[in-house]
Amino acid sequence: MDEAAGGRQVRDLTILGTTTEYPDCPERARLETFANRHPDRDYWIVFECPEFTSLCPVTNQPDFGRITIRYIADRLCLESKALKLYLFSFRNHNVFHEEAVNRILDDLVAACRPRKMMVEGDFNPRGGISIKVRCRHG
């Protein structure tokens, strides 16, 4: 890709390098993407969010966990700061663990249309039991 195209690629990103405004729910978060410079090759991209938080929809108590996202991009890659803000938007959102992980997968697949993707949620114990949720696309 030539330098001019690379410059356009960076100019299209509106969140990176700006003052951070944290969305208060996933509906208000904006996922951004950029062109995959190696669409001819399958390679895994892995994101780790070790400080994922959400609220229990029954008790309104905070839930804590780790979200891991693994994907093989097709034409688009996820921009990491936008992804971080999207994941942080669950902080004040009431959602069951299973629903959160499946929603993250659905939203990310809609945003970047990957060849393959897996989202894993490993949630800390509350009430003596931990929950692990895995879902995949492709």
**Domain 3-137 in CATH 3.30.450.40:** no
- Please identify every residue annotated as catalytic: 56, 63
pLDDT, greater one: 104 or 25:
104
Q: Side chain identity at 76, as an amino acid letter? A: L
Does the pLDDT of residue 110 top 70, yes or no?
A: yes
Does the pLDDT of residue 103 top 90, yes or no?
A: yes
Average pLDDT over residues 33-58: 96
Whether the Cβ atoms of residue 52 and residue 66 lie closer than 8 Å to each other? yes
- Copy the structure tokens of residue 53: 């938080």
Main-chain dihedrals φ then ψ at residue 69, nearest 5 degrees: -120, 125
**Residue 4 pLDDT:** 58
- Copy the structure tokens of residue 11: 């100019």
**Residue 18 pLDDT:** 66
Spatial CA neighbour of 115 closest among 44, 9, 29:
44
Handedness of CA 74, 135, 106, 23 (dihedral sign): negative
Separation of alpha carbons 98 and 131, rounded Å: 9
Does the pLDDT of residue 66 top 80, yes or no?
A: yes
